Structure 1
Amino acid sequence: MSQQQHPPEAHEPDPQRWRALGVCLVAGFMTLLDVSIVNVALPSIRTGLDTPESDLQWVLSGYALAFGLFLIPAGRLGDARGRRTVFIAGLVLFTLSSAACGAAQNSTWLVVARLVQGVAGGLISPQISALIQQMFRGRERGRAFGMFGTVVGISTAVGPLLGGLLIQAAGHQEGWRWVFYVNLPLGVVCVLLARRLLPDTPHAGRVRLRDLDPVGVVLLGLGIVALLLPFVQSQQWSGNGKWLMLPVAAALLALFLFWERRCSRRGFQPVVTLSLFRVRSYWLGCLLILLYFAGFTSIFFITTLYLQVGLEYTALQAGIAITPFALGSGLAAGTGGRLVSRFGRPLVVVGLGMVAAGLAFTALAVHLVPGTNAGWAMAPPLLLAGLGSGLVIAPNQTLTLSEVPVHTAGSAGGTLQTGQRVGSAVGIAAVGAVFFAQVGPDGWATAYDHGLIVSVAFVVAALIAAVADVAAGHRQARKGGGPATD
C-alpha cells in the first residue's frame, strides 16, 4: 500500500521531477519578482499614465492584498481539483493579466489588472509548495525547498536591478510597460512545460464551494479594504469623514471572526483556522510577521520614489541604490535557516534590532549626506537592515510553525503567508499616506524621513512581539513546563 502511495520513491533516478521543479521555480520567480520589480517602475508609471499617489499605492497594495486573500482557498482548490490544473490556470491568468498591465491606458486599468494579477499569484504560490511535497521525499524534499528558498531570495535581489535595466533600455515614459511584458515569454513557456511535466494530484475530484469559504474571503477582503481606504485616499478624500471607514473596517473584521467561528462549529473549513491561535508561538509569530512586512515592504516603495522623483535618479541608479538591502537579506537567509534551531526566537530579536537600526541610520544618512550622494550614503545602513531581514523571515516561519499540529500545517502555513501579504498592503497604505502628506509642504527629504519613521515603528512593534515570545518562553521554562501544543 505504501509503495502505491509514493511512486517517486520507487523510481528515484527519474529526472522528470527535477524538470517539473524547474517549472515551479520559474513560476514562483515570476510571481515574487512582480513584488520587487514594480517598485522601481513607480515613478515611470507616475509619469507615463499621470497616475495620482493613491493609485500608485493601490498598484502595490492591491497586488499584495489579492495575492494574500486567495492563498488558502487556492491551496484547497488545488488539493481537491488537481494542483497541475490550478497551477496552469493561475499561470494563464498571470500571463494575461501581465499583458493587461503592460497595455494599460490609465491608472484605473492598471490597478484592476494588478488585482487580477494578484489573484493569479495567489493561485500559483500554494501549488508550488504542495507539488514539492508531492514529488519529493526525504533529503530530496529538503533540497527542493532549499532551491525554492534561493529563488525567493534571487527574485527579491534582482527585481530592482532588472526593472531599472528595462526602463533604462525602453525609456522613462514607456519603459514601465516592459516590467510587465517580461512575464509573457516566461509565462507561455511555463504553461507549455507544466502541461507536459507536472504530475496529476492523486485522488483529485470535485470541491464544494463552501469548502473554499467564499463568504470568509469576501468579509476579510472588505474589512482590509475599508481599513486601507482612508490612508490610501487621504490626499484625494478631503475632510474627516474618511476616518468613519475605520469603525466600518472593525465591524467587518468582527463579522469575519464570527463567521469563521460559525464555520468551525458546523464542521466547514474556514479560510482561517482560529483554533491555531491558541498556540502562543503561532499567534505571536503571525503578529510579528504581519507587522514586519508592513514595515520592510514599504521601504522600497518610498525609497524608489524619493530617489527617482526627489533626487532625479534614473531607474537603474535607484535599483542599484536599494540592492544592498536585497543582497544582505539573501546572504543572511541561509545563515538564519541554519542557526534558528540553535538560538530560537532570540535570533529573530537580533534580526529585528538590526533592521530597526539599519533603517534609523538610513534616515540619518539622508540628513548627513543630502542631495545626489544620498544613494551612496544609504547603502551601508540598508545592507545592515537587509542582513537583519535575513535573520527574520525564514527563522520566524520555522519557529511559528514548530508547535502547530501536523494535520493543520497546510492551513497554518497559508494563514502565515496571508498575514505577510495583508501586512504589506497595510504598511504601504500607512507609510504612503504619511509620505505623500509631507511631499508638498516640506519636500522629498522630509517626506522620506517621516515615512521611514513609520516603517521603523512597524519593525519595532514586531520586535516587541518577538521579545514577548522570548519572555513567555523563559517563564514557561522556569515553571518546568514543555512547549505549548494547544
Structure 2
Amino acid sequence: MNDDHPETHAETHVATHDRGRVPAGEATGRAPAAEPDPRRWRALWVCLVAGFMTLLDVSIVNVALPSIQTGVQATPSDLQWVVSGYALAFGLTLVPAGRLGDVLGRRTVFVVGVVLFGLASLACGIAPNSTLLIVARLVQGAAGGILNPQVSGLIQQLFRGDERGRAFGLLGATIGISTAVGPVVGGVILDGLGEQRGWRWIFFVNLPIAVAAVALALRWLPDPPPRDPNRHVDADPLGVVLLGAGVLGVLLPVVETGRGGAGVPGWVALVGAALLVAFLWWERTYTRRGRSPLVDLALFHVPGYASGAAVGSIYFGGFTGIFFVLTIFFQQELGYSPLLAGLAVTPFAAGSALTSAIGGRLVSRFGRSLVTGGLTVVLVGLVAVDVVIAAVHDASLGWWLAGPLLVAGLGSGLVISPNITLTVARVPVERAGTAGGLLQTGQRIGTAAGIALVGAVFYSDAAAGGALDASTALRVAAALVAVALLASALDLRGRRRRERGMPLPGR
C-alpha cells in the first residue's frame, strides 16, 4: 500500500494509522473546520431514519418469505430473488449515486432516493404476482442504493475526529436495531392481519417513514452546493455501463443458483469478470486523459480502504445468510408462527445493536484489533449454533439458540460500524460519496452472493424431496465469516509490521 499517495501525503499521524486507529483530527489531513455545522446531529438522525427504513425492509421480508410464497405462488428461486434481487439492484446503483451526490449535492440525491423507495414500497405492497413483486423489489433496491451513499458521505462531511466514530457507531446501532425489530414487527403484522394479506403491509409501513424522512431532510440536511453554470459534470457514461454490466454479469448466475435447469449459464459470469477488467482499464485511461472517472482508482491507495472493503464484503456474504436460513427453517420445519420466528432470531440482532454504539466509541482506541476480535466472537457464536442444531431437533430449538445467537450478535456489532469507520477514515471529504458507494457495493455483492450460495445449500435436499438443510447452510455462512476473520488478521499483522518498520513479506 502506498502511504505516499497524494491524497494522504499531508498525513502526520502515520504510527496511529498503522495501528488502524482513527486520528483525532481531520481524517483527510486537513485542518478541522473551526465551526462544525450546528445541524449535524439533527441531520444525522434524518440519515438514520432513512437507513432504518431500508434495513427494516430486509429483515421484515425475511420473516414474511413463507407468507409471500403462499400469497403470490412464488417458487424458492422467486424468494431468493425477492431478497438477493434487492441487494443486486442496490449494488448496481451505489457507485453512480455516490458520484452524483458528490457533484450535485447529497441532500438532493438523498431526497430522490427516499421518494423512489417509498413509491417502490407501495408497488411491492400491491403486487398481484411474484414477477411484479420482484420487479418492484429491484426498483426498491435501486432506490436504497441511491440514498445510502449519501448517508456515509454526509457523516464524512459533517463530522470529524472522535465525533465521526460516534456517528458511525450510531449508524451501526441503527443497523442492529432495524434488524432486531424487523422480524418482530413483521411477525406482529402477519399475526394481526393474517398471512394472506399481512405480508403486503410489511411494505406499506415504509410509506410514513419515507414521508417523514423527506420532510426532515429538506429542513435539516446541508444545502446543496451552488451550481456553477460553467462547470461541466463529467458523468463517465461508458464507465457506468461497464461497471453495471460487469457486476450484473458476475452476480446473475450466482443469484440464479437453485433455479434448476433454467439457470443462467456460468459463462455469463466470465463475461461479467471481463467487463470489470475492461472497466478498470477504462477508468485508468479516462484518468490519464485528464477527465474525472466514475471511480477514482486512487481510492484503493488510500491507507486502509482496500483491506477494509474486502473484510466488509466477505463478512456481509456470511452473516446475512443467517437470517435467511433461520427464519424460513423455524417456520417451515418447526412450525413456528412468523412472530415466533422473528423473536427466535432477535438475539443476534439485539446483541449487534448493543455493541455497535460501543464499537463506534472504541474504534479510535483499538482500531483493526477491535474488528478482528469481533469477527472471532461471531465465529465462536456460529460454531455454538452448529452444535445446538446438531443436538436439538424439536420446537425448543429457538430457546437453545438464543445464547449462541446473542454471542454472535455481540461480535457482529464490533465488526460493521468500526470497519466502516476505519475504511473511510483517510478518504477526502469531496470523494466520500463515491468511496461510500464503492464500499457498500462490495457489501451488497457479498450479500447477494452469500444468500445465493447459502440458499442453494439450504434448499439442496428439499429439491430432492428431503428436509431443509439448515445445518450445512449455516456452516457455509460460518466459513465465510472465517475468511473475513483471516483477511482482517492479515491486515492487522501488516499494520503492526509497518508500525515496527519491518518489511512486509515479498518486499
TM-score tier (shorter): 0.7 to 0.9
User: Do structure 1's residue 278 and structure 2's residue 305 form an aligned pair?
Assistant: no
Distance 2:360 2:168 in 1: 12
Among 118, 130, 134, which residue is 1:95 paired with? 118
Distance 1:206 1:162 in 2: 48
Offset of residue 34 of structure 1: 1.5
Give the match for residue 397 of structure 1: 420
Give the match for residue 379 of structure 2: 356
User: Do structure 1's residue 40 and structure 2's residue 63 form an aligned pair?
Assistant: yes
Q: 1:378 to 1:441 in 2, by over 3 A?
A: farther
Distance 2:320 2:230 in 1: 35
Give the residue type in structure 2 aligned to 1:154. I
Distance 1:235 1:414 in 2: 29
Give the residue type in structure 2 aligned to 1:353. T
Residues 93 and 117, structure 1, Cα contact 8 Å, conserved in 2: yes
Give the match for residue 469 of structure 1: 491
User: Do structure 1's residue 252 and structure 2's residue 257 form an aligned pair?
Assistant: no
Among 463, 472, 479, which residue is 2:501 paired with? 479
* Partner-residue secondary structure (3-state), 1:415: helix
Give the residue type in structure 1 aligned to 2:490. A
Give the match for residue 373 of structure 1: 396
Distance 1:381 1:452 in 2: 13
TM-score of the pair, normalised by structure 1 = 0.88
Offset of residue 9 of structure 1: 4.6
Offset of residue 241 of structure 1: 7.8
Q: Deviations over 1:52-74 (max 9, x none)?
A: 11121111112122223322322
Offset of residue 232 of structure 1: 3.3
Distance 2:427 2:323 in 1: 33
Q: 1:221 to 1:100 in 2, by over 3 A?
A: same
Offset of residue 170 of structure 1: 1.4
Distance 1:273 1:200 in 2: 25
Residues 82 and 204, structure 1, Cα contact 8 Å, conserved in 2: no
Query: What is the correspondence of 1:103-182 to structure 2 with a 5 Å cutoff?
Result: 103-131=126-154, 147-182=170-205
Q: 1:20 to 1:81 in 2, by over 3 A?
A: same
Distance 1:214 1:119 in 2: 18
Identical amino acids, percent of aligned pairs: 56
Distance 1:8 1:128 in 2: 23
As a proportion of its length, which structure holds more helix? 1
Distance 2:443 2:411 in 1: 17
* Partner-residue secondary structure (3-state), 1:270: coil
Offset of residue 160 of structure 1: 1.3
TM-score of the pair, normalised by structure 2 = 0.84
Q: 1:147 to 1:276 in 2, by over 3 A?
A: closer
Residues 98 and 436, structure 2, Cα contact 8 Å, conserved in 1: no
Give the match for residue 258 of structure 2: 235
Q: Which shows bigger deviation, 165-174 or 95-104?
A: 165-174
Distance 2:262 2:167 in 1: 53
Among 82, 87, 98, which residue is 1:75 paired with? 98
Distance 1:81 1:411 in 2: 12
User: Do structure 1's residue 336 and structure 2's residue 363 form an aligned pair?
Assistant: no
**Structure 2 regions of 5+ residues with no counterpart?**
1-31
Residues 257 and 263, structure 2, Cα contact 8 Å, conserved in 1: no
* Partner-residue secondary structure (3-state), 1:175: helix
Q: 1:336 to 1:239 in 2, by over 3 A?
A: same
Distance 2:350 2:278 in 1: 42
Q: Which shows bigger deviation, 71-80 or 172-181?
A: 71-80
Q: 1:142 to 1:281 in 2, by over 3 A?
A: closer
User: Do structure 1's residue 450 and structure 2's residue 472 form an aligned pair?
Assistant: yes
**Structure 1 regions of 5+ residues with no counterpart?**
1-5
* Partner-residue secondary structure (3-state), 2:142: helix
User: Do structure 1's residue 429 and structure 2's residue 452 form an aligned pair?
Assistant: yes
Give the residue type in structure 1 aligned to 2:133. L
* Partner-residue secondary structure (3-state), 1:372: coil
Q: Deviations over 1:119-176 (max 9, x none)?
A: 1112222333444566677887776655444433321221111111111111112211
Q: Which shows bigger deviation, 345-354 or 76-85?
A: 76-85
Q: Bigger relative contact order, structure 1 or 2, given CA contacts below 8 A and separation 6+?
A: 2
Give the residue type in structure 2 aligned to 1:382. L
Offset of residue 271 of structure 1: 3.3
Offset of residue 319 of structure 1: 0.5
Give the residue type in structure 2 aligned to 1:311. L
Q: 1:241 to 1:418 in 2, by over 3 A?
A: closer
Offset of residue 309 of structure 1: 1.3
User: Do structure 1's residue 440 and structure 2's residue 459 form an aligned pair?
Assistant: no
Residues 228 and 429, structure 1, Cα contact 8 Å, conserved in 2: no
* Partner-residue secondary structure (3-state), 2:304: helix
User: Do structure 1's residue 412 and structure 2's residue 412 form an aligned pair?
Assistant: no
Q: Which shows bigger deviation, 189-198 or 67-76?
A: 189-198
Distance 1:97 1:388 in 2: 34
Offset of residue 289 of structure 1: 0.9
Q: Which shows bigger deviation, 212-221 or 287-296?
A: 212-221
Residues 82 and 205, structure 1, Cα contact 8 Å, conserved in 2: no
Q: 1:351 to 1:254 in 2, by over 3 A?
A: same
Q: 1:357 to 1:372 in 2, by over 3 A?
A: same
* Partner-residue secondary structure (3-state), 2:401: helix
Offset of residue 279 of structure 1: 4.8
Q: 1:123 to 1:413 in 2, by over 3 A?
A: closer
Give the match for residue 459 of structure 1: 481
Q: 1:336 to 1:149 in 2, by over 3 A?
A: closer
Among 315, 318, 343, which residue is 1:295 paired with? 318
Offset of residue 199 of structure 1: 4.3
Alignment length (residue pairs): 473
* Partner-residue secondary structure (3-state), 1:211: coil
